[in-house]
Structure 1
Amino acid sequence: MSQRDLKGLFSALLVSFDEQGNINEKGLRQIIRYNIDVNHMDGLYVGGSTGENFMLSTDEKKRIFEIAKDEAKDSLTLIAQVGSVNLKESVELAKFVTDLGYDAISAVTPFYYKFTFDEIKNYYNTIIGAVDNRMIIYSIPFLTGVDMSLSQFGELFSNPKIVGVKFTQADFYLLERIRKTFPDKLIYAGFDEMLLPATVLGVDGAIGSTYNINGRRGRQIFELAKAQKITEALEVQHVTNDLITDILDNGLYGTIKLLLQEAGVDAGYCREPMKKYTPEMVARAKEIYKKYF
């Protein structure tokens, strides 16, 4: 099992697709290189929501995991999101990425069906029990509908192989309680627009989609906040949130890809049923790039 440090800033890796929705390997490798060479990320979170993961086949997921590992090699930390409503697939992917040498695995809480907490707990213990690796819980209630309490996080954390949580929710009271109660567990901020307050509350790092293009500002916020330079950090957070507002107004994943295109990266298209780019969307992305980069 890898002992690489899991702290720091991670891009939730975008995946480049061609117009037919097939994986564009050349473009994916360029996105990875941009995150390494330009954004100077500490790591990549591969196979998450930003990677359009839940619209992919098992074989496509494996191919993306392979490409990311091959391109990044050992230059930064790699976390693989293997969660699925299909537990057998999650176990299969956990074994696959562990054999590839990923530093940790992550899994979204099982969604769609109203699973009991005992079912959720069994899901996590089953996945991590199948491999010699470390698990990061992926808590994103606004997409999964799964809210967990402090005591339930504690039950999951009682498994020593479950080492942390990607906390993508706005309940900062719960975040503070988790930080105080479980000082030895890792917490990653999942909302890029709230990186500053999350860092003040003591997160160990952050995982976000906008870091694919805005990683340098993310780094400034994170480092300034850790140095208790809150006023300076807030100034950068303001600019970042102006950018995020403009991105969200134009279409989240597509606009980030279009911004990367402006930076010379073949970031490709989104997979349907996500919408195709309109001329207006492309023009607006060019305006956003000129404004912020």
Structure 2
Amino acid sequence: MKKEWNSNKIFKGIFPALLTPITEEGIIRRDGLKKLIDWELYHGADGFYIGGATGECYSMETEAREELAKEALRAIDGRGRCIVHIGAYSVREGIRLARQAEKAGADAISATPPPVYRYGMEETVDYYRQLSEDVDIPMLVYVNYMLGEQDPTVLMEKVLELPGVIGMKFTRNDYYELFRISRLQGGNINLLNGPDETLLCGLVMGADGGIGSTYNIMPGIYKKIYGAFREGDMKSARNWQFQADNIIEVLLKYGQIRAMKFLFNRKGISLGKAEKPAVDLSDGEEQQLLCELEAAGYFREYPEMK
């Protein structure tokens, strides 16, 4: 039987795809996690997407992922909605993570399509059925290019019939696809934009908010995009999107995860290093990164990070 909510549009606003504070031995840095979450909420985050690709989930042991979800939810303490990503290399592991996320108090679970191999439509639908049917919290499908040539609208039409599936994180670049999907279920579908650089495009085409990697270091800028759009101020929304994109361009040059962790580490929010095989930034790269972020206007918005 399909689980029901008054509305599937549960998640609205800005949700950082949370970085994972972790030691080189794979232990979650609880103090760093608490400080990071507090910083994000102070600067406008509406909630979090925990344990996804930005959280380096596929480089972590299952036990560390479970610890991350538990400690993050404890640190959030009801101050924002939380989605836990439970996609894994096996369905068994995904089910284990889903059960643990529900027990820890997550508001929803999410999962990418099965990693590594390509599967057909019915296989993909069955994958989401197995992950969603075992828990009583909602699920958001993570639609990205791991679907291969499958039509995401057809997929979502099928998976929205599954118990608990309420919508999706859309991390693709064809916004006509997003528009088509937004009309499913009479429009009662929770859509969250994935590509940071085109949050405004997603909002225009039907998204209820966004989940993003670079939201970690500038949640307030994305909140301004979201707020301006909601108020009908498209000029301001576009200007803030361009500001974010200038900063994204710098981060991509140096590697988003290691660059963002560097910024937080140097300001006393201890996140550790990016998981191997990522290498540390050199001293020269660190200084150049700071110079380019200055030129992009980042420190004008976040002077405490300078």
1:292 aligns with 2:298: yes
- Equivalent residue in structure 2 for 1:213, among 203, 214, 217: 217
Q: Is the 8 A contact 2:250 2:293 kept in 1?
A: no
> Aligned residue for 1:99?
103
Task: Give the TM-score normalised by structure 1.
Answer: 0.93
Q: In structure 2, what residue type is equivalent to 1:42?
A: D
Q: In structure 2, what residue type is equivalent to 1:48?
A: G
Question: Distance in 2 between the 1:195 and 1:189 partners?
Answer: 6
- Equivalent residue in structure 1 for 2:35, among 26, 30, 35: 30
Q: Any gaps of 5 or more consecutive residues in structure 2?
A: 300-306
Task: Give the TM-score normalised by structure 2.
Answer: 0.89
Q: Is the 8 A contact 1:34 1:265 kept in 2?
A: no
Cα distance change, pair 197–208 in 1 and its aligned pair in 2 (3 A): same
- Equivalent residue in structure 2 for 1:43, among 39, 42, 47: 47
Q: Is the 8 A contact 1:254 1:269 kept in 2?
A: yes
Q: Is the 8 A contact 2:4 2:164 kept in 1?
A: no
Question: Distance in 2 between the 1:147 and 1:255 partners?
Answer: 34
Cα distance change, pair 147–269 in 1 and its aligned pair in 2 (3 A): farther
Question: Distance in 2 between the 1:268 and 1:85 partners?
Answer: 25
Moved more, 201-210 or 148-157: 148-157
1:171 aligns with 2:174: yes
Aligned counterparts, 1:154-193, within 5 A: 154-182=157-185, 183-193=187-197
Deviation sequence 1:55-109 (CA, Å, 0-9, x none): 1111010110111011111111011000112100110111111011110000111
Deviation sequence 1:1-49 (CA, Å, 0-9, x none): 9979422210100012335554322222221221122x22111100100
How far is 1:263 from its partner? Answer: 4.5
Aligned counterparts, 1:101-180, within 5 A: 101-141=105-145, 145=148, 147-180=150-183
Q: Identical aligned pairs, as a percentage?
A: 28
- Equivalent residue in structure 2 for 1:233, among 237, 242, 261: 237
Q: How many residues align?
A: 291
How far is 1:145 from its partner? Answer: 4.2
Q: Is the 8 A contact 1:44 1:78 kept in 2?
A: yes
Aligned counterparts, 1:248-263, within 5 A: 248-263=252-267
Question: Distance in 1 between the 2:79 and 2:140 partners?
Answer: 21
Deviation sequence 1:111-170 (CA, Å, 0-9, x none): 2112121111111111111111100001121x6647433122100111251001000110
